[in-house]
Structure 1
Amino acid sequence: MVGGGVTANGDPNMAKAYPGRVTRHVTMACISAASGGLMFGYDIGISGGVTSMPAFLNKFFPDVYRKEELDHSVNQYCKFDSETLTMFTSSLYLAALLASFFASGVTRKFGRKSSIVSSAVIFFVGALFNALAVKLWMLIVGRILLGFGVGFSTQSVPMYLSEMAPYKRRGLFNSLFQFSITIGILIANLVNFVTANMKNGQGWRYSLGGAGVIALIIGISAIFNPETPNSLIERGDYEEARRKLQQIRGEDLDVQAEYNDLVAASRASQEVKHPWRNLLTTRKYRPQLILSILIPFFQQLTGINVVMFYAPVLFKTIGFGSNASLFSSVVTGGFNVLATVVAIFAVDKWGRRALFLEGGIQMFIFQIAVAALIGNKFGMSGVVTDLPRWYACIVVTCIVFFVAGFAWSWGPLGWLVPSEILPLEIRSSGQSIVVSVNMLFTFLIAQIFLMMLCAFKYWLFVFFACFVAIMTLFVYFFVPETKNIPIEEVSQVWEKHWYWKRFVDHQAVETELAVQKTKESAVEAELDSQKRKESA
């Protein structure tokens, strides 16, 4: 930890104010890196549409096809209940969970950029397997490879964005990752809407193969991205790190103070020989560990992936036709994008807590409304003779407001906050925990949702609403504000927090500050010595 203190709400008092503006270099690099979210988003959106296409179901899941197209006696809630069908969707996230642990080592040893490039290559190969599949095993292998690509990108991209961005715009740039995810979902919905009507019945191949095009674009653009100064310093390339820092902050600005702090933080991190062990066992890292687990846990228990994964299936379940369900998914995806734009421009102005709380309240209200509307029309039998258009529009509107509440709160903040609260010495390991928890519960929900829908009926939405209420209370009491604080100084927020301060040894903090100042002086002396040698 370096620098002075900050208040419990994250307002800087004595915190260092590094110079830095939104330069062309940092803007282009962050937009390019954030586009890694397109892979994740495209996959989220494409799977639900493909699994609602009759030709795809008939080829790979004939039992589901018969229930959906031929057997009209099946309970509406249970038409798509199939373990093999959900395994097609969920296998990706189990693979991403495993990949996140490998990605941690790659990100730390070879850099954030290398991890992003690796994710695109693996994702491209997975897309080829899916597009060319003739057997179910090819679909599953493709999904697993896609999962490894997603695991690498979700581990490295949020870190890259948080480290590259000027600290006062960190929320804006980091939110671009979630924005890319929403764009990917919308693109997938549009592609499905077009390919579903192909007369040759091969539209699903184009939908699945489209992921390869996205991976190719992302991989090529990532090759030309600069590495983050933090990563360069972490790997011992000090001169290149200083040059890159000067370039991305502004050629005419004095970046010496920020550079000194990055070097000092890196040297402190190098003294941590076992980052995983330290993160899991060291008391002072307890706040970061708990938030790195609970934030992605709650993010998935909002129920958002119920809508995003299975939107066409969900809309067909509540009475929409095939084309109408796909079009409703496009509408939902469009509002998802627009609401994320709100977060991009609001997160650094209003703060993380305000968006967390407002989004939680909004999601709770409209999830209960969806449950009431579906329950009123379908009851527990799942049988409805006629669903009036006006009634269906109200259901879609409530789902849209639910998605919007997520898109400008828990969507981007679920990636932003964990990436900025982790000190450099445990950042790669901590981000792996964030990704693994996220993917574990994404996998579980994707795997059991259709079974839960069959068992719980409309009460499933009440189930998720209860978690939304719990997580909103959790934010109110336990999540501190982190806006406008340099990334290597965010650790200070725990000292003034009513609960987390008990995990911070104040005497150790004072000792750490003294040691840090000594290290900064040593860095400055070393730099002065280098300058004198260069002058001589």
Structure 2
Amino acid sequence: MPAGGLSVSAPPGMEFEAKITPIVVTSCVMAATGGLMFGYDIGVSGGVSSMEDFLREFFPTVLRNKHDKEGSNYCKFNDQGLQLFTSSLYLAGLTSTFFASYTTRQLGRRVTMLIAGAFFIIGVIFNAAAHNLGMLIIGRILLGCGVGFANQAVPLFLSEIAPPRIRGGLNALFQLNITVGILFANIVNFGTSKIHPWGWRLSLSLAGLPALLLTASALFMVDTPNSLIERGMPELGKAVLKKIRGTDNVDPEFNEIVEASRVARNVKHPFRSLLQRRNRPLLAITVLLQMFQQMTGINAIMFYAPVLFTTLGFKADAALYSAVITGAVNALSTLVSVYTVDRVGRRMLLLDAGVQMFLSLVAMAVVMRIKVTDNSDNLDRDWAIMVVVIICNFVSSFAWSWGPLGWLIPSETFPLETRSAGQSISVCANLLFTFVFAQAFLSMLCHLKYFIFLFSAVSVVVMSLFVLLFLPETKNVPIEEMADTVWKRHWFWKRFMNDEGNSHRVGEANNIYSAAI
């Protein structure tokens, strides 16, 4: 119990007093730069994979297939080693996120971001200096560790430090930075593709810039009040809470965090606690959101955009240029989510985007069926413009919906006692499905051809129905009141919620409050 006051939980659904302070905005902007690392790597790998100097040094077989006039366009980049170059990062991130869960809980969100930056910087050095495939893969693994730690800490930091009424918009800054990183990588690839024979090294080495930015930013950040109180520093936590909320009237929110922290300290095995019946709705939503996010096909498109455009018949420069256009659309469209997510809500954005993505994917399948043959070398100008417009429409709808909300919703749903473990599962599921689709995409393109877009279209229908029926709205709900205000009132998930723990907490708080009166 903190000095100078009684720990009384706020009534469920209470709106805490909070101003939008400069320190909150600044801290969130700095923390969200962790998304730049992730985004740059998503964008850079596909562009580098299409550069002939890179293929000549590491994947000569792919280079020969690329110039083979007899082979199918759909299969020219179908190489497991090339896919491993892209996907090994996500496998490493998947593993490292379990260690990141420990550091996030025991050392804090800020320290975990510093660790992420260190891993990423070392990985960049290995990649930029690589002279064989082994060095390249080691570098990718280290980058993956950095991604795992950053993706664990940053969304939690953003959700905990932001006032409830703008939590969605500030959390979406992480996805915005991912899209900016992708755009930056596409622009860099377009320029370095003309630098022979070491342009690809420059592309890979510039990944160090966002890593340095995150590391430097983390040195000047304050940790979240939730983390400080959870680690036994309530006075410092309360001081930080006053600072970030811009008011001295923080007792209701502070007491709520203290009570959540007390419960959290009693949970010795948070991962085991996730399997309890009352946590199953949160776990199911988290895993399914990450799976659905990847089943849209977005990361396959963003990883391999230049490769995909080349397959569609674009020449090398045109493919990279088109990737820059889609990257710009991706970044600009994410701003729509930043502006609207706390106004119209999470569900509305996801459902609207489902319709737009479905139509785009069906249109893409039709174009590929009509115009892209196994040995097509080029597309007519009008058809090429149509392809870019369709892909931009798809990317745009994803960027203001499933992109940012796939990170936001899991980060704001778990109670403090399982929040680090829950975020770890979220990151793990995201990276697992990202790894699977990155590793399989080129092979699927080779065998399924245009059906790959119909596969994603069917997936979009399924995930939209899931949102309609099973995803509750979490807009403007205080993060420590999510269980009482959201999950216990949902028509389906309420049957899983166990009231024992919460009844004990509320009863204990009421007894203390009555005694005080």
Task: Compute the TM-score of the two structures, normalised by the length of structure 1.
Answer: 0.93
With over 3 angstroms needed to count, the CA separation of the structure-2 counterparts of 1:516 and 1:431, relative to structure 1, is: farther
Structure 1 CA distance, aligned partners of 2:513 and 2:189? 55
**Is 1:261–1:520's contact at 8 Å kept on the other side of the alignment?**
no
Contact 1:33 1:157 in 2 (8 A): yes
Matched, 1:395 2:390: no
Counterpart of 2:151, as a letter, is T
Q: 2:400 aligns with which of 378, 395, 408?
A: 408
Q: Distance in 2 between matches of 1:126 and 1:169?
A: 35
Output aligned runs, 1:79-158, within 5 Å. Answer: 79-158=76-155
Residue 504 of structure 1 deviates from its aligned partner by: 2.0
Correspondence 1:499 to 2:516: no
Deviation of residue 3 (structure 1)? 4.1
Unaligned runs of 5+ in 2: 1-7
1:172 equivalent in structure 2: 169
Residue 352 of structure 1, aligned match among 346, 366, 373: 346
Equivalent residues in 2 for 1:455-534, closer than 5 Å: 455-492=447-484, 493-506=486-499, 509-518=502-511
* Pairs within 5 Å for 1:257-272: 257-272=252-267
The count of corresponding residues between Structure 1 and Structure 2 is 509
Q: Which residue of 2 aligns with 1:12?
A: none
Matched-pair contact (CA < 8 Å) for 2:69–2:375? no
Q: Deviations over 1:237-292 (max 9, x none)?
A: 11111110011100x44111111111111011111121111111x11111111111
Which position in structure 2 is the counterpart of 1:212?
208
Aligned to 1:240: 236
Kindly indicate whether residue 223 of structure 2 is the aligned counterpart of residue 227 of structure 1: yes
Superimposed CA distance per residue, residues 396-448 of structure 1 (whole angstroms, 9 cap, x where no aligned partner): 10100100110000000000000000000000000010011100010011111
1:510, distance to aligned residue in structure 2 (A): 3.8
| Partner Cα separation in structure 2 for residue 339 and residue 243 of structure 1 | 37
Partners of 1:221 and 1:126 lie apart in 2 by 19
CA contact (8 A) 1:299 1:411 kept: yes
Name the aligned partner's letter for residue 495 of structure 1. Answer: K
Equivalent-residue separation in structure 1 for 2:267 and 2:27 (angstroms): 30
Q: 1:395 to 1:2 in 2, by over 3 A?
A: farther
Amino acid at match of 1:42: Y
Other structure's SS at 2:374 match: coil
The DSSP-based 3-state class of the residue aligned with 1:273 is: coil
Q: Counterparts of 2:97 and 2:145 in 1: how far apart (Å)? A: 8
**Shift in Å at residue 385 of structure 1?**
5.6
1:349-391, CA deviations, whole angstroms, 9 ceiling, x for partnerless residues?
000000011111111110111111111112xx52226511111
Query: 1:284 and 1:328 mapped to 2: Cα distance?
Result: 47
Shift in Å at residue 306 of structure 1? 1.4
Distance in 2 between the 1:471 and 1:345 partners? 24
Structure 1 residues 306-455: aligned runs within 5 Å: 306-378=300-372, 381-384=373-376, 386-455=378-447
**Worse-matched range after superposition: 382-391 or 336-345:** 382-391
- Could you tell me how far apart the structure 2 residues matched to 1:52 and 1:114 are? 37
Change in 2 beyond 3 A, CA 1:211/1:386: closer
TM-score relative to the length of structure 2: 0.96
Q: Is the 8 A contact 1:264 1:520 kept in 2?
A: no
1:277 equivalenced with 2:277 (yes/no): no
Letter in 2 for 1:186: L
Specify the alignment match of 2:3 in structure 1: none
Letter in 1 for 2:490: H
8 Å CA contact 1:122, 1:145 repeated in 2 = yes
Q: How far does the alpha carbon of each residue in 1:479-518 deviate from its partner, in whole angstroms, 9 at most, with x for none?
A: 0001111110011211111101111245664444223434
The match for 1:16 among 8, 14, 17 is 14
SS in structure 2 at match of 1:214: helix
Cα 1:45/1:343, change in 2 over 3 Å: same
Amino acid at match of 1:56: F
CA offsets per residue over residues 284-311 of structure 1, 9 Å max, x none?
A: 1111111111111111111001110000
Distance 1:519 1:364 in 2: 54
* Secondary structure in structure 1 of the residue aligned to 2:456: helix
CA distance in 2, matches of 1:109, 1:167: 25
Secondary structure of the residue aligned to 2:144 is: helix
| Change over 3 Å in CA distance of 1:276–1:136 after alignment to 2 | same
Q: Tell me, in whole angstroms, the C-alpha distance in 1 between the residues paired with 2:201 and 2:142.
A: 17
Q: Please give the per-residue CA displacement for 1:162-199, whole angstroms capped at 9, x wherever unaligned.
A: 0000111100110000000000000000000000011x
For 2:193 and 2:377, locate their aligned partners in 1 and report how far apart those are by CA, in whole Å. 26
Which whole-Å CA distance do the structure 2 matches of 1:507 and 1:267 have between them?
16
Residues 264 and 519 in structure 1, CA contact (< 8 A), matched pair in contact too: no
2:291 to 263, 278, 297: 297
Q: Hey, what's the Cα distance between the residues in 2 that align with 1:511 and 1:216?
A: 46
Return the alpha-carbon distance in structure 2 between the equivalents of residues 189 and 499 of structure 1. 43
SS of the equivalent of 2:319 reads: helix
Q: Aligned partners of 1:520, 1:115: CA distance in 2, in Å?
A: 37
Displacement, 1:2? 5.0
SS of alignment partner, residue 304 of structure 2: helix
Identity across matched positions, percent: 50
CA shift in 2, pair 1:385/1:97, >3 Å: closer
* Aligned residue identity for 1:310: Y
| Counterpart Cα distance in 1 of 2:60 and 2:250 | 62
Deviations 1:223-244 (A, max 9, x none): 1110000000000011111110
Q: SS of the residue aligned with 2:367?
A: helix
2:71 and 2:375 in contact (8 A); partners too: no
Q: In structure 1, list runs of 5 or more residues that go unmatched.
A: 6-14, 526-536
CA distance in 2, matches of 1:90, 1:399: 22
